[in-house]
């Protein structure tokens, strides 16, 4: 068996690990990728500090996990169209992703994962929290599992439940918005419990940003159960919290993880680059 080439250090009891010894800008070996990928499956979200990545290099790293897809509401960078730049300026009060969610579950094939790279961070604040949807499902009662195993959720890009605009912000700061007028039309139906295609584990697959109802039920009928599930899903013992530094890249498994970008750094600037990795239709 080949000697381990990276160091994997868990950061919390439920999920999350830091990776040491990997230089993502390099054309690293298949063995290094295999070790990172296994850690990705084991810990659901990985944090790799002290990287120096151009947008094409970030895209190349993310592409090792699978083809990249375009985000429907923001134009990508010229030098790497699959990368979007997310900025919150000091005068702004809303942030991007400031609600518990899985990325773009309103698409027919939501992303496998997301790779986020920090270019500018506030002096304090701006952390991101992550929650383990395997544990959220596993800790439900047998009766609740039996009920939700049979349900299909409806996700919408319009963020009706949170009162926000598509993707949760106003697209200022030079972010080029597209298709905002079509947000109400972008919906998808997915099982409330999805089976991870690589690990075979079941994960809860509803979120506060995008899940608006269950198929065959009205929004009013669906709301009490959705509210219970989204509250249960982010219990503290299912979460980890990560403090960003310039040069940190995080990559998380959208199939079994939710995340929340904490908006506690008004008056300071935060700038990150995001790539999303094409997934498959949830089952």
Give tens-digit pLDDT for 7-59. 999 999 999 999 999 999 987 889 999 999 999 999 999 999 999 999 999 99
Query: Quick one: pLDDT at residue 179?
Result: 52
Query: Quick one: pLDDT at residue 2?
Result: 58
Which whole number is the average pLDDT over 102-130?
Answer: 97
In this predicted structure, the answer to whether residue 180 has a pLDDT above a threshold of 70 is no
175 against 109, higher pLDDT: 109
Is there a catalytic annotation at residue 146?
no
What does the alpha-carbon distance between residue 16 and residue 14 come to, in Å, rounded to a whole number? 7
- Domain ranges in the chain are 7-277
> Residue 26: helix, strand or coil by DSSP?
coil
What does the alpha-carbon distance between residue 161 and residue 169 come to, in Å, rounded to a whole number? 14
Is there a catalytic annotation at residue 227?
no
Query: Quick one: pLDDT at residue 160?
Result: 47
CA 3 to centroid of chain Cα atoms: 31
Q: Which residue's structure tokens are 């697959």?
A: 205
State if pTM tops 0.95. Answer: no
Show the tokens assigned to 265.
């750094």
What is the domain class of 7-277 according to CATH? alpha beta
Q: Is 31 left (phi over 0), alpha (psi -120 to 50) or beta?
A: alpha
Is residue 204 within a helix (H) or strand (E), and if so which, with residue range?
strand 202-204
- Residue 162, Cβ density class (10 Å: 0-12 exposed, 13-18 middle, ≥19 buried): middle
Active-site option among 190, 196, 273, 274: 274
Active-site option among 161, 196, 210, 259: 259
Query: Quick one: pLDDT at residue 169?
Result: 40
Active-site option among 103, 190, 270, 273: 103
**What are the pLDDT digits (tens) for 125-179?**
999 999 999 999 999 999 999 999 999 999 998 764 443 333 444 444 445 555 5
Q: What is the mean pLDDT of the chain?
A: 91
Is there a catalytic annotation at residue 266?
no
In this predicted structure, the answer to whether residue 103 has a pLDDT above a threshold of 70 is yes
Query: Quick one: pLDDT at residue 1?
Result: 47
**What are the pLDDT digits (tens) for 51-91?**
999 999 999 999 999 999 988 778 899 999 999 999 999 99
Query: Quick one: pLDDT at residue 183?
Result: 53
**What are the pLDDT digits (tens) for 70-81?**
887 788 999 999
Query: Quick one: pLDDT at residue 170?
Result: 44
Active-site option among 101, 190, 270, 273: 101
Percent pLDDT > 90 in the chain is 83
In this predicted structure, the answer to whether residue 217 has a pLDDT above a threshold of 90 is yes
Is there a catalytic annotation at residue 194?
no
Q: Is 110 left (phi over 0), alpha (psi -120 to 50) or beta?
A: beta
DSSP state of 108: S
């Amino acid at each position: 068996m080949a000697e381990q080439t990276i160091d994997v250090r868990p950061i919390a009891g439920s999920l999350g690990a830091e990776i040491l010894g990997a230089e993502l800008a390099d054309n690293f070996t298949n063995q290094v990728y295999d070790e990172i990928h296994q850690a990705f499956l084991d810990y659901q979200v990985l944090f790799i500090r002290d990287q120096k990545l151009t947008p094409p290099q970030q895209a190349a790293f993310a592409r090792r996990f699978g083809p990249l897809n375009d985000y429907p509401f923001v134009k990508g960078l010229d030098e790497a169209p699959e990368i979007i730049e997310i900025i919150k300026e000091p005068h702004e009060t809303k942030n991007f992703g400031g609600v518990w969610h899985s990325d773009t579950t309103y698409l027919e094939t939501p992303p496998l994962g997301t790779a986020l790279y920090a270019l500018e961070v506030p002096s304090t604040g701006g952390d991101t929290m992550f929650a383990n949807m395997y544990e959220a499902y596993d800790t439900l009662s047998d009766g609740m599992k039996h009920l939700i195993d049979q349900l299909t959720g409806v996700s919408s890009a319009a963020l009706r439940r949170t009162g926000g605009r598509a993707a949760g912000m106003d697209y200022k700061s030079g972010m080029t918005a597209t298709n905002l007028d079509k947000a109400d039309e972008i919906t998808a139906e997915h099982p409330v419990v999805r089976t991870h295609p690589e690990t075979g584990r079941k994960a809860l697959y509803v979120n506060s940003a995008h899940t608006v109802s269950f198929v065959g039920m009205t929004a009013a009928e669906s709301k009490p159960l959705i509210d219970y599930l989204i509250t249960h899903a982010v219990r503290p013992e299912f979460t980890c919290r990560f403090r960003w530094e310039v040069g940190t890249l995080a990559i998380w498994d959208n199939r079994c993880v939710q995340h929340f970008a904490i908006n506690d750094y008004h008056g300071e600037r935060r700038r990150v680059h995001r790539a999303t990795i094409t997934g498959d239709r949830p089952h």
